[in-house]
């Protein structure tokens, strides 16, 4: 095998993955370890909003169930009365 071909193959099979590993290591080293205070406050606001929506959804489902029971009862009474 010619030296130029060998060096090209070596670069392709070792150099490119090595560059990728180094790039990933740099990105991990530069990212912040803990979220900022602003980000934490925003996340808590989103969580509180989600909890409020879940409570509203539960109340709406209870109302829907109640309305369905009333409609079903009315249908049964009409069927029995006919």
Of 25, 26, 46, the C-alpha closest to 35 is 46
| Token code pair at residue 36 | 């900022």
pLDDT at 3 over 90: no
Q: What is the pLDDT of residue 29?
A: 83
pLDDT (tens digit per residue) in 4-52 = 777 777 778 787 888 888 888 888 888 777 778 888 899 999 999 999 9
Shared domain check, 47 and 22? no
Q: What is the pLDDT of residue 51?
A: 95
Shared domain check, 82 and 54? yes
Q: What is the pLDDT of residue 82?
A: 65
Shared domain check, 79 and 45? yes
Distance CA 58, CA 52 (A): 10
Shared domain check, 16 and 51? no
pLDDT (tens digit per residue) in 57-73 = 999 999 999 999 999 98
Q: Give yes or no for a contact between 73 and 65, defined as CB atoms under 8 angstroms apart.
A: no
Shared domain check, 26 and 4? yes
Distance CA 37, CA 47 (A): 15
**For residue 46, what are the domain limits?**
36-82
Collect all residues with Cβ–Cβ distance below 8 Å to 75 and sequence separation of at least 6: none
């Amino acid at each position: 095998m010619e030296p130029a071909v060998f060096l090209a193959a070596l670069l392709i099979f070792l150099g490119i993955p090595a560059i990728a590993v180094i790039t990933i290591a740099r990105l991990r080293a530069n990212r912040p370890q803990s979220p900022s205070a602003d980000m934490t406050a925003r996340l808590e606001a989103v969580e509180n909003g989600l909890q409020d929506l879940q409570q509203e959804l539960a109340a709406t489902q209870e109302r829907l169930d109640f309305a369905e029971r009333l409609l079903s009862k009315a249908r049964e009474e009409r069927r029995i009365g006919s």
